[in-house]
Chains A and B, each alone.
Chain A
Amino acid sequence: MRAALTIAAKDLAQRVRDRSAIMLGIVAPLGLAFIFGLIIPDMSGDSFDVNVGVVDQDRGAISAAFIDEVLPAVAAEGLLDSQPYDTPAEARADVDAGNLTSAYIFPEGFSSSLESGGSATVEIIGNVDASISTQIAKAVLDSYLAEVDAVGIAVGTAMIAGETDVNTIAAAAMESPAAIALQDVNAENLELDMTTFFGAGMAVFFLFFTVQFGVSSLLEERLLGTLPRLLGAPIKRWSIVAGKAITSLALGLISMVVLAIGTTLLIGAEWGNPLGVLILMVSAVLSALGIMALVAVVAKTPEQAANYQAIVAVALGMLGGTFFPLSQGPRFLAALSKLTPHAWFLEGLGDLSAGQDLSVVIVPSLAMLAFFVVTLAIASMWRREVLAP
C-alpha cells in the first residue's frame, strides 16, 4: 500500500502542477453552474415558488377532494400555495402577469364524468418562465388522478361483488389520499432546485473528465517509458494499478466536495444531508472510475483514451440529465437515463435534498456501484496485460 500511495502522491503532484485537473474538476463545473444560474430564471431563488390558482367549475366530489384535501396537505409541506379563482380568464390573466406560476381549471361535469366511468380533462395553464413549477403542479395533480383511477377500480369491483353504497365505498377507498399523493410527489417527481441541480449536474458531468487523469496515466507511463521502470521496482504490480485508482478517487472526491461547498457558498445550492451526499459522491466517483477504466483499456495511446473518454463522458452526461431536468423530456428518456450513473446520482441527491432520510441513497448508490463492478470486470477481461511493459 505504501507504494500505491507513493505513486498516487506523485500523480497528484503532477496533476496539480499542470492545472488541467483543477480546470476540469473545479473551475469549469463551478463556472458553468454559475453561468446556468444567471441565464435560467428558475435558478434565481433558493427554492421553487409554486403558486397555483384553482378554478372549480365542476363543484363535484372529485374536484372538491383535490381542492379541499390534497392541496392544503401539499401546502402544509411548504411545496405549493393555492388560491381559488372564479373564472378561467381571471386565473389566466394572473398567470400571464406572473402572479401565478400555473392554474388548474376543473371543467363543469368533471366529477360526474369520472364517476360514470367516462373520461374528463383538467386544464393546467403554466407560466413559460416557470416551467419547473408548472411541472410540479402537474405532478401533484397526476398523483391525485392516479389515485382516483384506483378508487374507480375499487368501486367497480365492489359493485360487482354486490356492495351498492358507492359513496361509502369511495370514501373508504380514498382514505388519506393526500398522504399518498404527497409521497408520490416526493419519491418520483420532485427534483432538485435548479441551483443545486446545475451544481450537482456539472459536478457529476465533469467528474468523468477528472477521474480519467488517474486511469489514463498508466498509458502515459508507458508512453514516457516509466512503466518498465515501475515494473522493475521492488513493488507488487497491483500497487501500480492501485496507485492510479487512488489518484482517480482522490481527484474525483476532491472535485465533488469542493464543488458542493463552492456551489453552496457561492450560488446557494442545497445538497442535503452531508453524509448522504458523501455516500452518493463516493459511489459516483467509483462508477466513473470503472467506466473510464474500461474506456482506457480499449485505447492504445493517452490521446486516444482522452478522445474516447470525452465522447463517453459527454454522451453519458447528456443522457443522464446533467444539462436539463429529465422531467422536461420525453418519458422514455427518463427510463433510458437509468443506464447512466449521472441519473442515479441526481435522483439520489433529489430525494436527499427533499429532506428524506439517509435510506434514500441506498438504491442510487448500489446502482452506481453496480456500474463500477461491471465495468471494472469487463475492463479486466478486456486487457489482462494492462501492465505489459
Chain B
Amino acid sequence: MKDDKSAGEHVVLAPSEAERCSLNVLECSGLVKAFDDLVAVDDVGFHIAEGETYGLLGPNGAGKTTTISMISGILEADAGKVTVTGKEITTRTTDGNAEIGYVPQDIAIYPDLTARENLRFFGKLYGIPKDRLGRRIDEVLEVIGLSDRGDDRTEEYSGGMKRRLNIGIGLLHEPSLLILDEPTVGVDPQSRNSILESVELLGQAGTAVLYTTHYMEEAERLCDRLAIIDAGKIRAEGTRRELVELVGQLDTISLGVVGSARRLVDALQLVPEIEQITAAEGSVEILVSGASGLLPRILDAAQKADVGISGVEVVEPNLESVFLHLTGKALRD
C-alpha cells in the first residue's frame, strides 16, 4: 500500500476492497483546463464511490474550483472525461447534471426572494415534480434549520443562514453526487459545525460527496479519501492514514504515569511495533505507526507492569505536514 513519495509526483494508492466493490458515482480522468498560458488544471483524475466523501485539499489557486467546475458541467474541459452515475458530463449535456448537487464557494442565492422561493426556483429547474416539490422544500428547510424563516427574504439572513440555504439548494433534488466548494469559508463556528454534521450525515445516507477545502481539520474529519492538489496537479491521493504513511511520519502517544516510568519502559520493550520510547518524570512518550491499533496493547502492558496511567494523549501526524512534505509549502500559503 505504501508508495515512496516526492514533491511533484502524483502518487495513487491502490483502492481498497470496499472501493472496488462499491459503485463509482463519479469518475473523471485526464482533466485539463488552461486559461491562456496558465494551466489551471493538469491531468486531474479520480473517482468517488457511493456514500464516500472525497476531499480535494489544496491552497487557494490550486485548481480546486476549476476542477469541480468541469465536473459540474459548468466549464468546458480542454481535455479529459467526466461521468456521473455513468452519464457523461460536458457543458452541452444535461442528463447527468440532474445527478449533481452543486454548492458554489460564493453564496449563490437571490437576496430579494425568500428561502422557499429560491428553493422552488431551483427545484423547478432540476425538474422536481410539482406534487413533490413543496414537500421536498419543507424537508430541506428542516434539514438546514430554516423552517421558521423560510418565508423571509434571504437579504435579511445572517451569513451562516445564507450558507446553509446555499447548501440546501444543492441538496434539494437529492443528487447522487454533492459537490461542495469550500462551504465553510467565512462561516461562524456554530454554522460551520452544523454544515460539517450535515455532510457527515449525507455520506452516511449514501450520497457521494466531493468536498474542496483548504482547511486541514475539515478534510481530516469528513473525508474518506483525499487528493492533495497543488498548482493544478494532484500530488497524492488516498485515505488520511495512507497519505500520512506516505510521508513516513509516526504517531506520538504521551502517557501520564503514576509510579515508575522506568518499569513501564521496560514493559513496553516487549511491543515490537514501538519505534521509540522516551521516559521523563511522570510521563512516557512513545513513537509508533498506527497509535489507535497499538494503544490497547500499550495500556495492557502498563497494567501488567503495575504502573498506573493518569492520562493518554495521541498526536497523529496531520495533513498539513503531508502537504508541506509533498509541495514544499504550507497549506494556507
Contacts and interface: CB of A to CB of B under 8 A. Distances in A.
Q: Do A and B come from one complex?
A: yes
Interface of A: 3, 6-7, 10, 13-14, 17-18, 224-226, 228-237, 389
A224 B169 CA distance: 15
A231 B74 contact: yes
A10 B112 contact: no
Given A13-B117, A233-B122, A234-B95, 9 more contacts: A6-B124, A224-B111, A226-B109, A228-B104, A229-B108, A233-B97, A233-B126, A234-B127, A236-B94
Interface in B84-111: 91-92, 94-98, 100, 102, 104, 106-111
B108 A224 contact: yes
B105 to A, nearest CB: 8
**Interface range for B:** 20 to 34
A352 B331 CA distance: 72
Nearest to B103: A229
Nearest to A18: B112
B73 A231 contact: yes
B125 A233 contact: yes
Interface of B: 69, 72-75, 91-92, 94-98, 100, 102, 104, 106-113, 117, 121-122, 124-127, 169
A13 B117 CA distance: 10
Contacts of B96: 234
A6 B48 CA distance: 33
B132 to A, nearest CB: 16
Nearest to B109: A226
Contacts of B126: 233-234
B75 A3 contact: no
Contacts of A237: 91-92
Given A232-B72, A233-B97, A389-B74, A10 B108 contact: no
Contacts of B117: 13
Contacts of B104: 225, 228-229
A389 B74 CA distance: 7
A151 B61 CA distance: 82
A228 B181 CA distance: 12
A98 to B, nearest CB: 55
Contact of B102 (A7, A224, A232): A232
Contacts of A224: 108-111
Contacts of A228: 69, 72, 74, 102, 104, 108
A235 B91 contact: no
Given A233-B122, A234-B98, A234-B126, A225 B106 contact: yes
